[in-house]
Amino acid sequence: MTQLYNKVALIGLGLIAGSMAKAMRRAGLAGEIVGHARSAETRKTALEIGLVDAVFDTAAEAVKDADLVVLCVPVGVMGSIAQEIAPHLAQDATVSDVGSVKKAIIDAVQPHMPDHVHFIPAHPLAGTEHSGPHAGFADLFNNRWCLFTPLPETDRAYVDRLKQLWSEMGANVEEMDAEHHDLVLAVTSHTPHLIAYTMVGVADDLQRVANKEVIDFSAAGFRDFTRIAASDPTMWRDVFLNNKEATLEILGRFTEELFDLQRAIRRGDGEQLFDHFTRTRAIRRSIIDAGQDTNAPNFGRYPKEGD
């Protein structure tokens, strides 16, 4: 039990804040955990289920005397919350966030931060399609990455303490430049979500296949798409509005590749299809071999040829 912060204020009480609260409690990392959410119902629920020790009607009240403030709201409202809390932040408070995009959040939050606080952007690469105060669980961050995109002038002691918090909540931590983060996530998370949203929309629009058939006969691939496409619409709208450049670049490449495969199907070019699928299979195998997919039934070990 290492208490790292005396008072943690979580702004936004949904999946990520709820999981952080539970993981922090499990490891005894915070003296007190308080929170703010926009809706009275969420605040009431968070208190009733013991997610936080106290709730406040405003973010400004919640951050008072907190030595760690974590913004756990949709990407598009980070800037206005930062502006609201700025005059109420304690001396040497750490202010962090968990947003899925980093450059736009830094641009929106940093200008509001007074000199006496330490703003350290972070992003846990862990989540589910569920949201709200009931969605969180203590194991969410276990063996998942939490990426940090600190500004070069930030006092390292504060970065290290926040990294220790995430490590003790179960995550592996790494630092990178914010713009690079946004490109990496456009490839690994944002564009794949858009593809899932698109495919589920296609199935829904197709008159010749009834919705009941889509539900009854959905194979594993489509099922995964529907899970992803059930994610929170506000959150994902904000991700695309705030990671425009990188997602458009990756979507452009995706579309070119898709046209190539479409042509291969039309021409009956089995060799091109086979070669493409062989290359992509190797990527899946290296993810499993690196122990990065904890949901895989064969987690940590991919059967080798001849197994």
Ligand X SMILES: NC(=O)C1=CN([C@@H]2O[C@H](COP(=O)(O)OP(=O)(O)OC[C@H]3O[C@@H](n4cnc5c(N)ncnc54)[C@H](O)[C@@H]3O)[C@@H](O)[C@H]2O)C=CC1
Which residues of the shown chain bind ligand ENO in the complex (CB under 6 A)?
Answer: 100, 125-129, 189, 228
Asked if residues 35 and 11 have their Cβ atoms less than 8 Å apart, the reply is yes
Q: Cα–Cα distance between 116 and 158 in angstroms, integer? A: 12
Q: Which residues bind ligand X (CB under 6 A)?
A: 12-17, 37-39, 42, 72-75, 77, 98-100, 124, 127-128, 131-132, 135, 232, 235
> Which of the listed partners (ligand ENO, ligand X, none) does 232 bind, with a CB threshold of 5 to 8 Å by partner kind?
ligand X
The alpha carbons of the chain give a radius of gyration, in whole angstroms, of 21
Between 77 and 120, CB nearer to ligand X: 77
> Smallest distance, Å, CB 125 to ligand ENO?
5
CA gap 228, 232 in Å, rounded: 9
Cβ closest to ligand ENO, residue 84 vs residue 129: 129
In the bound state with ligand ENO, the residue whose beta carbon lies nearer, of 117 and 228, is 228
User: What is the nearest approach in angstroms of ligand X to the Cβ of residue 18?
Assistant: 7
Pick between residue 85 and residue 135 the one whose CB is nearest to ligand ENO.
135
SS3 257: helix
Smallest distance from ligand X to CB 38, Å:
4
> Cβ 290 to ligand ENO, closest distance in Å?
17
Select the binding partner of residue 13 from ligand X, ligand ENO, none (C-beta < 5 to 8 A, by kind). Answer: ligand X
Answer with the entry of ligand ENO, ligand X, none that 189 interacts with (C-beta below 5 to 8 A by kind). Answer: ligand ENO
**Phi and psi angles of residue 146, each rounded to the nearest 5 degrees, phi first:** -125, 115
> What is the Cα–Cα distance from 219 to 197, expressed in whole angstroms?
16
Nearer Cβ to ligand X, position 99 or 121? 99
* β-strand partners of 32: 7
Strands 30-36 and 5-11: parallel
Which CB, 24 or 125, lies closer to ligand ENO? 125
In angstroms, the CA 71 to CA 95 distance is 8
| Sign of the C-alpha dihedral computed for residues 41, 43, 103 and 171 taken in this order | negative
Specify the residue, 16 or 52, whose C-beta has the smaller distance to ligand X.
Answer: 16
Q: Output 88 or 190, the one with its CB closest to ligand ENO.
A: 190
Of 136, 109, 112, 132, nearest to 21 by C-alpha is 136
14 binds, options ligand ENO, ligand X, none, Cβ within 5 to 8 A by partner type: ligand X
Which one of ligand ENO, ligand X, none is in contact with 46 (Cβ closer than 5 to 8 A by kind)? none
Spatial neighbors of 124 by CB under 8 A, at least 6 apart, are 16, 98, 140, 141, 144, 145, 146, 166, 171
Rounded least distance, CB 133 to ligand X, Å: 7
Q: With CB cut-offs between 5 and 8 Å by kind, which of ligand ENO, ligand X, none does residue 228 bind?
A: ligand ENO
Please give the Cα distance from 198 to 152 (Å, whole number): 38
- Minimum Å gap between C-beta 30 and ligand ENO is 23
Residue 66's nearest CA partner among 93, 102, 29, 87 is 93
Q: How far is the CB of 4 from ligand X (least distance, A)?
A: 21
Q: How far is the CB of 258 from ligand ENO (least distance, A)?
A: 21
Q: What is the Cα–Cα distance from 93 to 83, expressed in whole angstroms?
A: 15
